Structures are given as C-alpha cells and as structure tokens.
Structure 1
Amino acid sequence: MPSTHPLIDPRIFELLRRQENTTFTVKDLRNQYAERHSIEAQYRAHLRRFIYERISRLIRVGMVQKDTEKRKRDQRYQVIHLDAQGLDLTGEPFESWCQRLVIDKEKTKTKSPACPSPHSEHAPISRPSGASAKLRKNLKEVKVEFLAALGEAEKFKALIHEYPELKEVIQGDSKAAHDLSSRLLGHINAIEKVLQRVETGP
C-alpha cells in the first residue's frame, strides 16, 4: 500500500533541522536550497513554489505552523516538531519536480529552458545497460540508511532532553548520528544527480 505520510524532499527536511531555521520564511529556505544545490536565479520562482507546497504538507500534519503575525509578504513559519517517522522522505528533488511538472508546459512558449537541466553543463554521457536500475537500487539503499541515521539522531536528541544529566555521555553519539545523516543526504544528492543525467541525457 502507498505511504500515507507526506512526501517531502529530504533536502528540505535537512534545512529545517538547522537551528537557524527554527523560524523561517519560504524565501529563506528557497535561498538556502538554491545556494546549496546550485539552482540558478532564473529558476527561483519555480523553486519557491516547490518549497511552499512542501511546507504546506508539513503544516497539515502539525510539524510546522504559521507565525501568529500574519503578513502579506514573507510570512514567517515556525518548526514545531520534525518527526522523520511521520514523513516519507523519498520525495523528488526540485530539479526532477520542475522537469516533470513545469518544463512540459513552458518549453513550447520559450526557447529558454524553464527548469535547470541536470546535464546542461556536462558533456553527454553514455548510458550503460542496467545503469538506471542499479542507481535506483543504490538510491533506495542509501535512503534507508539515511532514515535510520536520522531516527537515531532524533532519539539521541530526545534522550538528552529527557535525561539532561546524561548529556555529556550522549552528546558524542548524537553528533556522530547527525553528521552521518548529513553525509548520507549528500550521497543521496550525488546519486540523484547522476540518475537524472543517465535518464534524461541526450
């Protein structure tokens, strides 16, 4: 059966885990996402929509809420409680979403690409037989490892809160689990980039 948990790009989840994003605007996340994943300025209107839709999903499950001060522009949001177990963190990255939902509608209106092309800055690559399937299997395995590390990091954080007297005992393991989840997210990003080039390259 399909998951009933909200589908979220793990890149966005990782941004929301950062201390400086306890309160944020969609513009804040858009700029951070664009900087970390090399999204050019011409695509940022689409990126803002992509992030807004996913923040809306988090609001519906009570993990994020709007700030009590309502604003017409740059509305602020607050992270209430992020629970990886209550989310499906296998959501597609912005580049895939944009290519799938936006470019088909806009490519006939303009000669400029509507979305970032995952292979536009690289030479064409050959696609060995079975490479796509192997990459998808690898991606699935790394995502499982990422979720496990993420769950471990969250549990250590909860234990520190519950047993503050054990903070010095737990803190090293907590940091190690957090660092591992961050590295695995980097692995996910790398595999996704290669997979996009393999599947959409010329």
Structure 2
Amino acid sequence: MSPNQITVDEDLHGLMMQSDKFTARELTDAYTQSRQKVCLNVPLTADQFRHHVSEHIMRMLEVGWVKRVRVYGGADQAFKLMAKPLNLEVTFISRDKPVRRRSPRRRKEANVPVSQEPVSRGPACARTEPKRYLGELHEEIRSDFLSAMGEAERYQQLIEVMPHLKGKLEGAYLDARDRRARLQGHLRAVQTTLSMLRA
C-alpha cells in the first residue's frame, strides 16, 4: 500500500472521534462492545479485537493521523486523533456498509457531484459469499503483510548503516518482524481455505 493510502475501519474511526484521548485498551473495549451489538460475518476473539485495534492505531500513527499524547507504557499509552493529512487517501471499510474512498482532493477541486461519485459494492458476507469474502480478506491481509515486510526490511537496513542506533531501532524492527510473521500465518490460512473451496 502506498504511503499516502490507508484502509480504516469506519466504526473504529468513529469511536476515535468521540474521545479527545484514548488508549488501545479503552478503544478495544469500546469497539468490542459496539461490534457485539451487530451481526458479525465471523465472530472475533478478544485477542483478534485487540490485534485489529492495535494494527489500526499503528498504521494511523505512521501516516500522522494519530499521535501519542502521553506515555504510561504498555496498553496505557494514550493517543489522539488528529486532522486527516491533506495528501492521504482513505478507504473506509465497515462490515455492515459499502466501502467508500475519501480522496485527498477536496470535492470542489475534483468537481464531481455527490450523486455521480462511484459507489463500491459492500463487503461480502462470509456465509453467503465465502469465496468473495475470502478474496477480499486475502487482499487486505496481503497489503498489511507487504507493509510489515517492507517496514522490517527498512529497519534492518537502517541498523546496518547506522549501527549506533541499533539500541533504539531494534525494538521497532522486532515488532515489525513479528507482525510480518503473524500476517504471513493469516495469509496462508486464508489461501488454504480458498484452495479448499475452489477444489
């Protein structure tokens, strides 16, 4: 995914907007409660909810849409939602609504009336359209996997050319490497399931 593009859970973004400051734990609790009130395509575990929220916070942090506001360590690190960067293209995804893309250009600059904007087809349901659902999931995970892989590679290169910063960069490198490994496992699981359905 390009540095000026990001995919964001619309419901999670809405919760961020409701609070001046939030921690990963607070946001996870609020998101879990909100998602339990609707019919999910696939039930999520508590660990999956935490991972989903943490991934979003880190991606938004990297593009400057979220910033750290105070440090308590661990899950109590606080964050704040900032104004969306002007050059950032956002794709909002919700399991209950169609995907919609927000361009970094203003609507009047793009000169496209609201009624003429293309509307993407909504996310597939895991039960009624399993192949399309898995295909969409595969693309989402693959994008995150490539991003994590590139991040880990870059940290490794930076450590090699600036060894004096190894102590400061090694933690971030290990986090990116672990995230890459987890996403690779998710990717394989989805690919295996798709192969079984297509057999």
Q: Is the pair's TM-score, using the shorter chain for normalization, greater than 0.5?
A: no
Q: What is the TM-score when the length of structure 1 is the normalising length?
A: 0.43
Choose between structure 1 and 2: higher strand proportion: 2
Q: What is the TM-score when the length of structure 2 is the normalising length?
A: 0.44
